[in-house]
Structure 1
Amino acid sequence: MEQTVAHLTTLLHTLASTDNEQRAAAEEVLSKEYLEKKPDLALSGLIHILRNNPDVPLRSFAAVLFRRLALQPVPVPAADGTKTHTSALFMIQETTRRGCLAELLGALAAEPVVTVRKKLCDCISEVAKALLNKHVAWPELTPAVLQCVRAAEPEYRESAFRILGSVPKLLMPNDVLDMVTVGPIFESGLAESEVLAVRITALNAAVFFLIEASPDTKAASFSGLMVQMLNVLPALLGAGNEEGLTEAFTALIELAANQPKLFRPVLPQILNFALSIIGNAQLEATTRHSCLELLLTIVDEAPAMVRKLTPDFPSKVIPICLNMMAQLEDDEAWHTTNSIEEQEDENDEDYVIGEQAMDRIARKLGAVVTTPVAFTIIPQMLAAQEWQQRHAALMAISAIGEGCHKVLSKDLGKVVNMVTPFTQDPHPRVRHAACNCVGQMATDFAPSLQKKFHKHVIPALMACMDDVANPRVQAHGAAALVNFCEEVERTDLAPYLEALFGKLVTLASSPKIYLQEQAITTMATVADAAEDAFVQYYPAVMPALLQILSTPNSKELRLLRGKAMECATLIAMAVKKPVFQNHAQLFLEALARIQNEVTDPDDPQVSYLMHAWARLCTVLAADFVPYLPIVMPPLLTAAQIKPEVALLDVDDSDEDYSAEDGWQQAMIDGQRLCIRTSLLDEKCSAIEMVMCYARHLGTGFKQYVPQVMEILIPNLLFYYHDGVRHAAMRAIPPVLAAAQDEPTAVLPLWSVAFDKIAKLLPQELDVEMAYNVVAGLTEVIQLLEKQSLNDQQAATLMRVLNEVLKEYYDRVKAREEQRQDEDFDPDQEEAIEDEAALENMVITEIAKLIQMLLKIYGTHALPLVDQLMDSVVVFLNEQDEDLILLAVSVFDDLAEYTGPALATYMNVFGERIVQLLASPLPSVRQSVAYGVGIAATKGGPAVHPLCLAAVPRLVEMVRAPKSRDDDNVVATENAVAALARILRSDVLPVQQRDEALAFFVTSMPVVFDEEEAVVTTSFLLDLVEAAHPAVGAQLEHTVDALLEVLYQGTLDDDQQLQQRALADVKTLLAGMPQDKQTAIWNALPADKRSVLKERGFF
């Protein structure tokens, strides 16, 4: 052992060397010679150094290295001959491990140096977590830690809470929570009177204990502990320990993010204390900001609780946030800069934090409580002499627009009139803020703002584009126009095009490159909005853009060239192929040349090139196919980008893994997982471009299908970037479609994809991804029809769908429980409904998938659908709208695609379907009425009793007092159509049929549901042409109904039926006296007579 310890000591010294080669050699020896071949000696030796070496840094390093080596994965042979990985802690002999663990606890009880103790505690914590994960006992640990809690030395007490904070499960043996035992442990630390560091560490430990215990539903029972934790804050403030106070706030933020309800009993006190911190300009910015972040995190996670328990929150916090937003100094560099990229160091400034806070308060607490407070103060700020006040007010309006949309949209004109005059403010920073505000409002209140206020907004922004002395104002005015034009109607933009185009051309010749870039970007958006109205400006623009693309590939011009690509291709899409054709070849050659010039992976032109090629593909269609060999290689390379990943110890420097360089970090089991995500957006775009080519080129893309599918399928599980997963799933159907004429090639590829999809869908937590998966399944089944699923795959699909439906049902029930929460309020209902609406997308798509299976396989799909019937029965009898609609859609589709086989399911649907015709939900009544009508047509005699029972309910639907209101009219029209189908199917006895026919005639017309309008109008015309007494008894009404159908243009897509209706109404009129004809005509509203004449009917 002595020789080993000596050698390890030498290695430790070498590992601390600044010589990279020496350090690398030592790491190699430690890994290959010790860890892989002699792990027992390695770990025992390090423990010996930790316990016995007099050199303090060496003992500290030994603790760090023991942790790393003990937990580092090591390749070992598996039973099947392959290699697996385990850690050295579980490779060494049991006696060695027990000896090491005992020595660690010995060091915990004896180590006198604080810095070494911290490394030792980190080591013990990580080893303990590894043992817990493997269910390996370390029974001596908890008593040893609790002994430290009771120790006389404060550094020992601090060590104990450091370990408890890292391994809170130590206080919950066998996952049993006993606050009688645990409470006094924390009480001793939180009430520490000697050393504040102990209180801070105890607070941190209490936070992670509460997170681990997950006591959200029993918040009241933890109120005593919460009070003790919060009492640490005034003590730190009183001692002037701002660093400790910030650390305490950071811990409480973590608790608020995970267990916000724990703050319920103490929320008013927290608010009052926080106000004394946030508004105290004498304190450090980091202290104030972390305190504000605690409040905002509680707001984010429990807005209803905040609204209920602290109704004065907005009136107290919003003024402070607005004041923070005004803490802005004028900087000469702001005016003279040649680059307007946001500076990273500005993110921690008061004005940025205040603006972000306003946004979060508005979105979470809602418009009803935010708007009155904000707009009591904002007008005063706009009238202030200090430009900073006016600037802050405008930025505040910009920040709260999205969250306060419902309230502000009612007074949008007032807000626009409040903001737009400041585009002429004396101070350029205020004019810049006004442009920012208008641009954000153009996004938040689209398209209403564009439609109603273009006369106010466009001239105001164009005036800013004339501000030659302030190019940043010019650029921001042009940037705001981008937001505005993204949602503007072509006709509303047309009057400004000439003046706007002239200004953009002027800006494009500015010496400021950022202004040129913005002018070109805005021009692209204007062209996209103007569509063919931009044709007249095309000859002046396209040659200039080609000229930019011919400039040298210097670094400072890369972004400008990228913007030129974007602009030119958007213009090409706007003016279409015939206009662009003359420049197409030149442009394609320019792009090909630039693609060859780009060698730097960080070159912004890479992304612009990808999108430019794709837009050209949409314009040129089949003419683009010859360019695929140029486009596809770099695109496929980008689609296969792998993230750079690094796993760092908590003590490792992370200067090479900064956010500025595109790295994101997360703590996992005591280590920092660093992922460079900056290139993953490019990967996502590449996959989206592949989808674009496949969709637009069809079989022209066929040769790339196998290679592309090999890339797409693994990316379904690319959890580093959700966008990549979504794009990969959306791309699969169009890529397969490109080779659908070769099923022998497509089916094996689809089989591999299906297996992957079937595994991921039941566990999918991302609602958008789940939607994309189900939509993709539907699209592929539609594409491949009966070849899409073999028997095994079909069975797997039903099992997966069953799991998804059951999980969805559980979430519906969870939302119902949320509505019973003590803090529930109407604003929270809106959030719940938003969540439900997202999940409903998936359920609606599942209904379409079931429909597609029945449509393609018919009665052969019934064994599959039977596997879902347990869920369908449950859903059918629920109160939740989306659950009922899914069940009813299955009934509708069974009726439509399996005909008489529907009889088998009458015991499931029959009585409940009739009941649902009286549902208070219009969407349910509509779907049920449609299904009843289809059942009458296709279901055969076995469903006639259902139809007979439904007739009185259908009549009641049509007769209801508000049946033709906007919310109800479509359901009502489906009821009328159902009556038509039942009557046409000869289901009713003679007397009941005559009554129903008379009622049907008086229920016409059907004009809003075009599909049902065809059914009902056709049946009415049958009655007219048969001179049925029901028509004769309601002759004038019949004429009025047919005239309404013609006036509304409901039958425009069925010219034959429309002409038949016109002929029949003319016949009916011709059979009347002239004075009666004239009276009917004159009784029509003037606009209806005018439209009927314009359409050539009369």
Structure 2
Amino acid sequence: MKISQDPHPRVRAAACTTLGQMATDFAPNFQKKFHETVIAALLRTMENQGNQRVQSHAASALIIFIEDCPKALLVLYLDSMVRNLHSILVIKLQELIRNGTKLALEQLVTTIASVADTIEEKFVPYYDIFMPSLKHIVELAVQKELKLLKGKTIECISHVGLAVGKEKFMQDASNVMQLLLKTQSDLSNMEDDDPQTSYMVSAWARMCKILGNDFQQYLPLVIEPLIKTASAKPDVALLDTQDVENMSDDDGWQFVNLGDQQSFGIKTSGLEAKATACQMLVYYAKELREGFVEYTEQVVKLMVPLLKFYFHDNVRVAAAESMPFLLECARIHGSEYLAQIWQFICDPLIKAIGTEPDTDVLSEIMNSFAKSIEVMGDGCLNDEHLEELGEILKTKLEGHFKNQELRQVKRQEENYDQQVEMSLQDEDECDVYILTKVSDILHSLFSTYKEKILPWFEQLLPLIVNLICSSRPWPDRQWGLCIFDDIIEHCSPTSFKYVEYFRWPMLLNMRDNNPEVRQAAAYGLGVMAQFGGDDYRSLCSEAVPLLVKVIKCANSKTKKNIIATENCISAVGKILRFKPNCVNVDEVLPHWLSWLPLHEDKEEAIQTLSFLCDLIESNHPVVLGPNNSNLPKIISIIAEGKINETINYEDPCAKRLANVVRQVQTSEELWLECISQLDDVQQEALQELLNFA
């Protein structure tokens, strides 16, 4: 792979783009197989000073490659890669100072951010060589054409700070904060399309995350101008058509013709700053919690009315997004204060679900409401709220079915063509997205209220049953099954009274062509075993052969199918674990073990590892195999769990898995046999597990 040796810049750029595409399409296997060759080739191309555009393409491909590259692999090349990036950074910084060239530098700082993001604490030894150059770029990038570079560098600094952690970053924190404050000194002076704005928002969020409570000292400096900008009333005017024509387009006004030679005008230039300010308030509430408590009431009173700020969608999105975080802040002040704040928020939030005209904003409002219920917990909605919510959700679901019928009618009309179909599909996607949010709200109610919410839910039951009819489009069936999955998981054993509604759809949809539907069905069969009580025994018995058939299917492990397949493997594990009397455990266990490890679905993967620990700790003969012959396989499953970052050190399962490894180490012969079947990356992953768990 000699990209850098081809004399034609276009060929080199195209080669880089191709590598980036392959890294996306075939991740993570592409990274696992070709890491050595690809990383070396892209770094060589970045070093080659012949062409800025080629260097930029190489940096872009490296970012894509790194994103899906397991941390354990990246660490092998870390030193040479990071030092290479630094030497290129120094050269590019000199070019910026001499010639003002910035293209490759913009891509390079993004690459550095991506490396830091992936390797996290392993970036600490390189921090001191990078930070001075990065700060220098921010100080230099003052001209208008360098704003994007400045924004990306600020973003990079915040990624590096987050990677190395507070202790290391503190030496530069004050200096970096001054640079940020200087850049943000007056949000409202930034132009609408200023590329720094979005980078600033995310950088502030990371600074909060890094500094934690130490960020509080800066809060008074930034919050008052933010609240002022977020509270700004837009300039509006009612003008004659003649006056509108006299106003030039670049004055930042937009007009709507009201007829009778009159137009309604709004000055849009301040709206972007208002939206950004609102978004930053969301981040502070989210990251600071305790440090934000004293501003909670002031910001709630600002945000709630903004749920109806129809001049700018992103203002309403930020207002909605802030609600659960503000409730988290209020909770710190005590339950009485929390109840007062919720009383102020709840009614407008429910009403906004009923009245919001824009689908994207509506989905955010619904999501926010679902999260707010989870913060508030059982009993947070009074009878009037529940009645209003029931009516709204019923209307949404009825509208969903009605819209589908209307689209089918339009498909029969004379003017139907490919363009009409694309438009109908866009509408359909919007409808389905709202359906997912209905599901989120129901999930939050089932998970907080448990079976107490079922009498209220029964007004919606016929509509949910309609979703899972075999004639419905597959997304309807997917989300209908997800709603029943939640009922089974959170309202068992009472959920069994609805079994006749979902029994056959759950089993039949295991054969569906769409993996999303199979996943929803498989997850439901798993939670039946885990939470469903004895009534579900026969259903669990029927499920096993269907689940096994999906797992053994020739294309079950393709990128498209893998998540559904892993849910099937997990469901078999749950049936073995929680309903062992429904199945021949000794017959099925060897198959289940052969299907491990799970890579993609982290939650299900940790459940399977937990069950594996149960089996090993009880010295289950089928799992250990004759003369412990399955131990090499088990040790490789544990190593892969670490490489795929399934194993989280906070989870008790990590310690149990480490103890399994230590137990095997007590027999030198057995241990040597196990590690002889592992590659270097797997061995390093095991060592890391033993060091930390």
- TM surpasses 0.5: yes
Write out per-residue CA displacement over residues 239-287 of structure 1, whole angstroms, 9 at most, x where no aligned residue: xxxxxxxxxxxxxxxxxxxxxxxxxxxxxxxxxxxxxxxxxxxxxxxxx
Per the TM alignment, residue 499 of structure 1 is displaced from its structure 2 partner at its CA by: 3.0
Matched, 1:710 2:301: yes
Taking the aligned partners of 2:365 and 2:660, their CA distance within structure 1 comes to 45
Matched, 1:739 2:325: no
- Aligned equivalent of 2:119: none
Secondary structure in 1 aligned to 2:332? coil
Taking the aligned partners of 1:1025 and 1:586, their CA distance within structure 2 comes to 53
- Aligned equivalent of 2:131: 538
Provide closer, same or farther for how the CA distance between residues 949 and 912 of structure 1 changes in structure 2, counting only shifts above 3 A: same
Equivalent position amino acid for 2:657 in 1? Q
Provide closer, same or farther for how the CA distance between residues 823 and 588 of structure 1 changes in structure 2, counting only shifts above 3 A: same
CA contact (8 A) 2:12 2:54 kept: no
- Aligned equivalent of 2:489: 896
Please, what TM-score do these two structures have when normalized by structure 2? 0.74
Equivalent position amino acid for 1:1007 in 2? P
Provide closer, same or farther for how the CA distance between residues 1014 and 644 of structure 1 changes in structure 2, counting only shifts above 3 A: closer
Per the TM alignment, residue 659 of structure 1 is displaced from its structure 2 partner at its CA by: 2.1
Taking the aligned partners of 2:630 and 2:450, their CA distance within structure 1 comes to 39
Taking the aligned partners of 1:688 and 1:781, their CA distance within structure 2 comes to 22
- Aligned equivalent of 1:771: 363
Per the TM alignment, residue 931 of structure 1 is displaced from its structure 2 partner at its CA by: 1.8
Q: Say which is worse superposed, 1031-1040 or 948-957, in terms of deviation.
A: 1031-1040
Write out per-residue CA displacement over residues 97-124 of structure 1, whole angstroms, 9 at most, x where no aligned residue: xxxxxxxxxxxxxxxxxxxxxxxxxxxx
Taking the aligned partners of 1:507 and 1:659, their CA distance within structure 2 comes to 35
CA contact (8 A) 1:1025 1:1064 kept: no
Per the TM alignment, residue 481 of structure 1 is displaced from its structure 2 partner at its CA by: 9.6
Matched, 1:790 2:382: yes
Secondary structure in 1 aligned to 2:263? strand
Matching residue within 418, 425, 447 for 1:855? 447
Write out per-residue CA displacement over residues 207-261 of structure 1, whole angstroms, 9 at most, x where no aligned residue: xxxxxxxxxxxxxxxxxxxxxxxxxxxxxxxxxxxxxxxxxxxxxxxxxxxxxxx
Provide closer, same or farther for how the CA distance between residues 1043 and 860 of structure 1 changes in structure 2, counting only shifts above 3 A: same
Write out per-residue CA displacement over residues 646-683 of structure 1, whole angstroms, 9 at most, x where no aligned residue: 23333335323x22121222323353332210111111
Taking the aligned partners of 2:415 and 2:23, their CA distance within structure 1 comes to 33
Per the TM alignment, residue 950 of structure 1 is displaced from its structure 2 partner at its CA by: 3.1
Secondary structure in 2 aligned to 1:917? helix
Write out per-residue CA displacement over residues 609-640 of structure 1, whole angstroms, 9 at most, x where no aligned residue: 97576664444332221232222221111102
CA contact (8 A) 1:438 1:480 kept: no
Secondary structure in 2 aligned to 1:674? strand
- Aligned equivalent of 1:940: 533
- Aligned equivalent of 1:1002: 591
Please, what TM-score do these two structures have when normalized by structure 1? 0.49
CA contact (8 A) 1:739 1:746 kept: yes
- Aligned equivalent of 2:473: 880
- Aligned equivalent of 1:918: 511
Matched, 1:501 2:93: no
Per the TM alignment, residue 745 of structure 1 is displaced from its structure 2 partner at its CA by: 2.7
Equivalent position amino acid for 1:1049 in 2? G
- Aligned equivalent of 1:719: 310
CA contact (8 A) 1:718 1:725 kept: yes
Q: Which has the larger radius of gyration?
A: 1
CA contact (8 A) 2:378 2:448 kept: yes
Provide closer, same or farther for how the CA distance between residues 486 and 805 of structure 1 changes in structure 2, counting only shifts above 3 A: farther
Per the TM alignment, residue 685 of structure 1 is displaced from its structure 2 partner at its CA by: 0.7
Per the TM alignment, residue 1066 of structure 1 is displaced from its structure 2 partner at its CA by: 9.5
CA contact (8 A) 1:896 1:938 kept: yes
Taking the aligned partners of 1:481 and 1:838, their CA distance within structure 2 comes to 37
Q: Say which is worse superposed, 515-524 or 717-726, in terms of deviation.
A: 515-524
Matching residue within 258, 268, 287 for 1:696? 287
Residues 429-508 of structure 1: pairs in structure 2 closer than 5 A? 454=42, 458=46, 463=50, 489=66, 495-508=84-97
Per the TM alignment, residue 1027 of structure 1 is displaced from its structure 2 partner at its CA by: 8.1
CA contact (8 A) 1:504 1:519 kept: no
Equivalent position amino acid for 1:871 in 2? L
CA contact (8 A) 2:572 2:592 kept: no
Provide closer, same or farther for how the CA distance between residues 962 and 759 of structure 1 changes in structure 2, counting only shifts above 3 A: same
- Aligned equivalent of 1:143: none
Taking the aligned partners of 2:607 and 2:172, their CA distance within structure 1 comes to 51
CA contact (8 A) 2:282 2:325 kept: yes
Secondary structure in 1 aligned to 2:571? helix
- Aligned equivalent of 1:571: 157
CA contact (8 A) 2:640 2:682 kept: no
Provide closer, same or farther for how the CA distance between residues 594 and 493 of structure 1 changes in structure 2, counting only shifts above 3 A: closer
Secondary structure in 2 aligned to 1:679? helix
Identity of aligned residues (%): 24
CA contact (8 A) 1:1042 1:1061 kept: no
Equivalent position amino acid for 2:498 in 1? Y
Write out per-residue CA displacement over residues 54-98 of structure 1, whole angstroms, 9 at most, x where no aligned residue: xxxxxxxxxxxxxxxxxxxxxxxxxxxxxxxxxxxxxxxxxxxxx
Matched, 1:664 2:254: yes
Provide closer, same or farther for how the CA distance between residues 822 and 481 of structure 1 changes in structure 2, counting only shifts above 3 A: farther
Per the TM alignment, residue 873 of structure 1 is displaced from its structure 2 partner at its CA by: 0.4
- Aligned equivalent of 1:38: none
Taking the aligned partners of 1:1066 and 1:1027, their CA distance within structure 2 comes to 16
Matching residue within 633, 654, 657 for 1:1055? 654
Per the TM alignment, residue 596 of structure 1 is displaced from its structure 2 partner at its CA by: 7.7
CA contact (8 A) 2:238 2:265 kept: yes
Matching residue within 389, 393, 413 for 1:801? 393
Equivalent position amino acid for 2:320 in 1? M
Provide closer, same or farther for how the CA distance between residues 599 and 1081 of structure 1 changes in structure 2, counting only shifts above 3 A: closer
Matched, 1:681 2:272: yes
Provide closer, same or farther for how the CA distance between residues 1002 and 803 of structure 1 changes in structure 2, counting only shifts above 3 A: same
Matching residue within 205, 222, 232 for 1:631? 222
Secondary structure in 2 aligned to 1:664? strand
Equivalent position amino acid for 1:790 in 2? N
Write out per-residue CA displacement over residues 271-308 of structure 1, whole angstroms, 9 at most, x where no aligned residue: xxxxxxxxxxxxxxxxxxxxxxxxxxxxxxxxxxxxxx
Per the TM alignment, residue 861 of structure 1 is displaced from its structure 2 partner at its CA by: 1.9
Residues 382-401 of structure 1: pairs in structure 2 closer than 5 A? none
CA contact (8 A) 1:640 1:683 kept: yes
Provide closer, same or farther for how the CA distance between residues 1038 and 839 of structure 1 changes in structure 2, counting only shifts above 3 A: farther
CA contact (8 A) 1:501 1:523 kept: no
- Aligned equivalent of 1:157: none
Taking the aligned partners of 2:480 and 2:317, their CA distance within structure 1 comes to 28
Provide closer, same or farther for how the CA distance between residues 974 and 508 of structure 1 changes in structure 2, counting only shifts above 3 A: same
Secondary structure in 2 aligned to 1:633? helix
- Aligned equivalent of 1:427: none
Provide closer, same or farther for how the CA distance between residues 733 and 813 of structure 1 changes in structure 2, counting only shifts above 3 A: same
Taking the aligned partners of 1:749 and 1:1024, their CA distance within structure 2 comes to 50
CA contact (8 A) 2:530 2:578 kept: yes
Per the TM alignment, residue 806 of structure 1 is displaced from its structure 2 partner at its CA by: 2.6
- Aligned equivalent of 1:346: none
Matched, 1:749 2:348: no
Provide closer, same or farther for how the CA distance between residues 925 and 485 of structure 1 changes in structure 2, counting only shifts above 3 A: closer
Per the TM alignment, residue 771 of structure 1 is displaced from its structure 2 partner at its CA by: 2.0
Equivalent position amino acid for 1:1055 in 2? A
Secondary structure in 2 aligned to 1:889? helix
Provide closer, same or farther for how the CA distance between residues 1045 and 440 of structure 1 changes in structure 2, counting only shifts above 3 A: closer
Equivalent position amino acid for 2:318 in 1? A
- Aligned equivalent of 2:120: none
Per the TM alignment, residue 725 of structure 1 is displaced from its structure 2 partner at its CA by: 1.5
Secondary structure in 2 aligned to 1:675? strand
Write out per-residue CA displacement over residues 26-73 of structure 1, whole angstroms, 9 at most, x where no aligned residue: xxxxxxxxxxxxxxxxxxxxxxxxxxxxxxxxxxxxxxxxxxxxxxxx
Equivalent position amino acid for 1:633 in 2? E
Count of aligned pairs: 637
CA contact (8 A) 2:567 2:604 kept: yes
Secondary structure in 2 aligned to 1:717? coil
Secondary structure in 2 aligned to 1:668? strand
Q: Which runs of 5+ in 2 are unaligned?
A: 32-37, 68-77, 117-122
CA contact (8 A) 2:518 2:564 kept: yes
